[in-house]
């Protein structure tokens, strides 16, 4: 009844969304603040008569707004249903098993190997440094790879690779191999590699409206790169679904990226709360990896990560536990509102070693 390729699939496991009780949710990296009030106003007053018509298949106005934000032409912008769909199209368009393995970090976004399985792409997990940072040298050695992809900041670690290192990577990567920087969390302190796309035709940046612009429920993602790369993504899209973004999502996302003041206010609040949380954790003896994301990766010597996760869940607070070799002692904690992080910090004082 089922195809062979279906039977070989290993699906992605998202963060818990339990319905059995109220939780403080610090496990799925959602923004704790609402989107722009201009988005709310639009959704309340939107002309529903438009919904009988198909949406703009090219998302023209949204691509123009994104292009204006980054001072780039809309021809260098591609949009899709969240960055996950955009990434899926990227895997199909740019990575081929005949060209070698796709390279990505050992500890990274767990959807990458899922896509590799779906599209039959061999891959190689590149070890992180002892401090859990990404080593450019490790990727330079793999010049004969099918391509390279990694989040920056990385997930789940939160560590950040600075722009000069990305330039060094690009300068030492074959020009016929695409490098994708997955910047889902870049707005929380990092410097986007978008400014490098005019220097490297094989560089593609993928971002999302889910995190820093609080639109996870609308599923809007985008890619920025050379016209040829964008054209390839359009070809994949039009071979799969010519209307990926609905009308409401296109308009709300355009409004969100144009409201720079609201974006900056929410982003700055999250950064301030992150640093407040990190400072207090370190005072209590917790190890916290350097983070430029809206989450932190923490552990404490002698306390298994599963214990931390289980204790907090029992107390009504969710964090993310992965349980993979090498990071079993860590939990990933989304930065919520300050009041939520104060509750989190107080609960941690009661975590037992066994």
Cα distance between residue 208 and residue 201, in whole Å: 21
Strands 203-208 and 179-182: parallel
Q: 37-258: which CATH architecture? A: 3-Layer(aba) Sandwich (3.40)
Q: What is the mean pLDDT of each run of 10 residues along the chain (354 residues)?
A: 66 64 90 97 94 95 98 98 96 92 95 93 96 94 84 97 97 95 97 97 98 97 98 95 93 98 98 98 97 97 95 96 94 98 96 70
What per-residue confidence (pLDDT) applies to 344? 97
Q: Which of 329, 271, 324 is nearest to 295 (CA)?
A: 271
Q: Around 71, how many Cα atoms within 13 Å sit in the side-chain half-sphere? A: 4
Q: Which of 231, 152, 150 is nearest to 187 (CA)?
A: 152
pTM equals 0.94
What per-residue confidence (pLDDT) applies to 351? 87
Look up residue 4 and give its two tokens.
Answer: 């062979």
Cα distance between residue 222 and residue 214, in whole Å: 15
Residue located via tokens 């070698």: 100
Beta bridge partners of 318: 25
What per-residue confidence (pLDDT) applies to 193? 98
What per-residue confidence (pLDDT) applies to 23? 87
3-state SS of 280-321 is HHHHCCCEECCCCCCEEEEEECCECHHHHHHHHHHCCEECEC
Cα distance between residue 71 and residue 66, in whole Å: 8
What per-residue confidence (pLDDT) applies to 280? 97
What per-residue confidence (pLDDT) applies to 13? 67
Report the largest interatomic distance among the alpha carbons of the chain, rounded to a whole angstrom. Answer: 60
What per-residue confidence (pLDDT) applies to 201? 97
The answer to whether 105 touches 133, Cβ cutoff 8 Å, is: no
What per-residue confidence (pLDDT) applies to 1? 78
Query: Is domain 11-34+261-348 in CATH 1.10.150.120, yes or no?
Result: no
Cα distance between residue 215 and residue 209, in whole Å: 6
Strands 331-334 and 287-288: unpaired
Beta strands in the chain (DSSP E): 24-25, 77-80, 102-105, 123-126, 147-151, 179-182, 203-208, 221-225, 287-288, 295-299, 317-318, 331-334
* CATH topology match: 11-34+261-348 vs 37-258: no
Q: Where are the domains of the chain?
A: 11-34+261-348, 37-258
Cα distance between residue 32 and residue 340, in whole Å: 10
């Amino acid at each position: 009844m089922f195809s062979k390729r279906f039977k070989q699939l290993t699906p992605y496991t998202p963060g818990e969304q339990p319905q059995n009780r109220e939780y403080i949710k610090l496990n799925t990296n959602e923004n704790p603040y609402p989107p722009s009030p201009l988005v709310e106003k639009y959704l309340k007053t939107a002309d529903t008569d438009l919904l009988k018509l198909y949406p703009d298949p090219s998302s023209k106005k949204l691509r123009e707004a994104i292009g204006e934000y980054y001072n780039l032409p809309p021809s260098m912008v591609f949009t899709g249903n969240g960055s996950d769909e955009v990434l899926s199209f990227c895997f199909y368009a740019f990575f081929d098993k005949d060209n070698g393995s796709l390279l990505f970090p050992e500890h990274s976004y767990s959807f990458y190997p899922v896509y590799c399985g779906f599209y039959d792409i061999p891959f190689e997990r590149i070890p992180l440094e002892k401090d859990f940072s990404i080593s450019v040298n490790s990727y330079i050695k793999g010049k004969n790879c099918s391509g390279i992809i990694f989040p920056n900041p990385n997930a789940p670690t939160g560590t950040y690779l600075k722009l000069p290192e990305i330039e060094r990577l690009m300068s030492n990567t074959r020009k016929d191999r695409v490098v994708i920087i997955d910047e889902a969390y870049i707005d929380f302190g990092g410097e986007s590699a978008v400014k490098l796309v005019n220097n490297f035709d094989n560089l593609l940046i993928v971002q999302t409206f889910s995190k820093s612009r609080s639109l996870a429920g609308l599923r809007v993602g985008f890619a920025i790169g050379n016209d040829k790369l964008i054209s390839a993504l359009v070809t994949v899209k039009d071979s799969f679904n010519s209307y990926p973004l609905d009308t409401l999502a296109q308009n709300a996302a355009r409004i969100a990226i144009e409201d720079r003041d609201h974006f900056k206010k929410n982003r700055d609040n999250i950064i301030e709360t992150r640093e407040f949380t990190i400072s207090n954790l370190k005072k209590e003896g917790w190890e916290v990896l350097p983070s430029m994301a809206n989450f932190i990766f923490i552990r404490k010597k002698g306390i298994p990560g599963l214990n931390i996760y289980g204790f907090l869940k029992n107390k009504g607070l969710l964090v993310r536990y992965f349980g993979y070799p090498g990071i079993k002692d860590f939990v990933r904690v989304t930065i919520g509102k300050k009041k939520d992080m104060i509750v989190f910090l107080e609960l941690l004082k009661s975590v037992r070693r066994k």
